[in-house]
Amino acid sequence: MLNAKQYRQRQTRLLRRMPPNSIMLVPAAQLVTRSRDTEYVFRQHSDFWYLTGFNEPEAWLLLSNHERYGGDYRVMVCLAKDPHTEIWQGRRLGPEQAAETFKLDEAYPTDALSELLPEWLDGHEALYFAQGECDFADEVVFTALATLRDAPKQNRAPQQLIDSRPLLHTMRMLKSRDEIEVMRTAAEISARAHCRAMQFAQPGCFEYQLEAELHHEFAMAGARQPAYGTIVGGGENACILHYTENSDEIMDGTLILIDAGAEYNGYAADITRTFPVNGTFSAPQAELYQLVLDAQLAALNEIKAGVTLPDVTQVVIGVITEGLCKLGLISDSVEEALAAQHWRRFFMHGLGHYLGLDVHDVGDYVHNGEPLPLQTGMVITVEPGIYIPNDTDIAPQYRGIGIRIEDNIVITNDGYDMLTGGVPKTIADIEALMAQRTV
């Protein structure tokens, strides 16, 4: 788990990357209405969480390196203590305790922000802020700037407005040792949940029942929320890449694709496994499954610091195309099929993405027009797939099959560290685990 000292170190690193006499404003998330007078479960904004570890709404972090402070200056505004409100809505830390807990120079109640913000902005040359991300935050900031610009006989508002996201998100791309350990825990929880779902599955079960098994395992381990909408697709539903209805009965003889990950201490896991509901792969299912697994293993064999995702993707495309030609799903030669990009009909998504506080985590994939090489400390997914819906001219034995295999890895100098090895993915290991079912 990360502590206040580590969050403060992140703030310091950020301040060192800002030019002198700059200020950065980072708003927390707000409560979001679910219906009428109820809200969704609160989830903190990832950037705010990355810099503070503070899990309350309607807060702001202000970071300044202006010379008038004689060094770095850290201020938070947050909801004030209110015994009556806290009876109904839960405890608040309050400004005084927030300043002490998070080692801040000052802290104030949120309702003081509009009065204090023009004063804090005054005299800074550059303002770092994620303009356009949140209408409410935009209104607060631009109202303060207007107040400062309209002040009589002076206009000391920041002359530069700079998007804070590139600077902050570049930092988030490379994970610290402690972040990786949190992500390892998220991955281990998620792996246990996938194993549990495999052992629960049987012909006639419903997709939502498997979803419930997954979420129960998450919550019992302290990961109260999934990191994204859980996908449980039986049969042809697996061919819908972001299928989340999870409402259908799963028929005997079909495969189940589960794409699910826990969120633990703000960090996401993202695992996909595909397995037969009855515990045994049919011959056509096994042929396609082994092809996807071979493609993933080929990708993993290539991955290390310095390579690019497009380079690894080309290796995967080659394996998949050759395998589809061998099975007769593509009638052209391998060379002709690659030139015509026939593989796109079966594998239409990317090979992987960054993973962290967001399941599709922040960070650029291209720099100066060129793919960004993988770097030590990045965490990525590796997730090839093959999808063949029923409405197709492919041989009948392969129709209605969607397969994806996804793991989470940490990039190292000479390869990778597998975070999600706790859930089986070979045909033999999946069938062996499912044979242990007690339902």
**pLDDT tens profile 297-325:** 999 999 999 999 999 999 999 999 999 99
Round to the nearest angstrom and report the end-to-end CA distance of the chain: 37
Provide the percentage of residues in the chain whose pLDDT is more than 90.
Answer: 95
Question: Do the bridges between strand 160-162 and strand 126-128 make them parallel or antiparallel, or are there none, so unpaired?
Answer: parallel
User: Would you place residue 437 in the very low, low, confident or very high pLDDT band (cuts 50, 70, 90)?
Assistant: confident
Question: Where does the pLDDT of residue 439 fall: very low under 50, low under 70, confident under 90, or very high at 90 and above?
Answer: low
Q: Please pick, among 192, 236, 404, 407, the residue that the annotation labels catalytic.
A: 404
User: How many residues belong to the chain?
Assistant: 439
The predicted model gives 80-98 an average pLDDT of 95
- 56, 217, 236, 259: the catalytic one is 259
Give the active site residue among 17, 156, 196, 349: 349
Alpha-carbon distance of 171 to 14, in angstroms, equals: 8
The angle, 0 to 180 degrees and rounded to 10, between the axes of the packed helices 283-302 and 427-434 is 120
Name residue, tokens 């995967």. 316
Does pLDDT of 432 surpass 80? yes
Identity at 375, one-letter amino acid code:
Q
Average pLDDT, rounded, for the chain = 96
Instruction: With a cut of 70, say whether residue 181 has pLDDT above it.
Output: yes
Would you call 115 a catalytic residue per the annotation?
no
Which amino acid is it at 253? Answer: G
Give me the catalytic one of 358, 383, 407, 416: 383
Give dist(CA 113, CA 100) in Å, integer: 19
Among 128, 353, 407, 416, which one carries the catalytic annotation? 353
User: pLDDT tens digits for 163-173?
Assistant: 999 999 999 99
Please report which residue ranges of 63-125 form alpha helices under DSSP H.
Answer: 83-89, 94-101, 113-121
Q: Is 259 designated active site?
A: yes
How confident is the model at residue 69, as a pLDDT? Answer: 87
Choose, from 47, 361, 406, 407, the residue flagged as catalytic. 406
| Residue 37 among the catalytic residues | yes
> Active site includes 45?
no
Beta carbons of 260 and 224 less than 8 angstroms apart: no
d(CA 143, CA 44): 24
**Of 360, 364, 417, 429, catalytic:** 360
Answer yes or no: are the C-beta atoms of 405 and 260 closer than 8 Å: no
DSSP state of 345: G
Of these residues, 270, 358, 361, 407, which one is catalytic? 270
Average pLDDT over residues 390-411: 97
Ordered alpha helix ranges (H), 303-437: 309-327, 334-340, 427-434
Beta bridge partner(s), residue 318: none
pLDDT in tens, 322-366: 999 999 999 999 999 999 999 999 999 999 999 999 999 999 999
List the beta strands (DSSP E) in 229-325: 231-234, 255-260, 262-264, 267-268, 271-276
| Residue 387 known to be catalytic | yes
349 is known as an active-site residue: yes
Is 242 part of the annotated catalytic residue set? Answer: yes
Q: 3-class DSSP state for residue 411?
A: strand
Distance CA 115, CA 144 (A): 8
Bridge partners (DSSP) of residue 267 are: 264
- Which residue among the candidates 37, 370, 391, 414 is catalytic per the annotation? 37
270 given a catalytic annotation: yes
Catalytic site residue 84? no
- Name every residue whose Cβ is closer than 8 Å to that of residue 356 and which is 6 or more positions away in sequence: 172, 173, 175, 179, 183, 267, 268, 362, 379
The model's pTM is 0.96
* Identified catalytic residue from 34, 149, 242, 344: 242
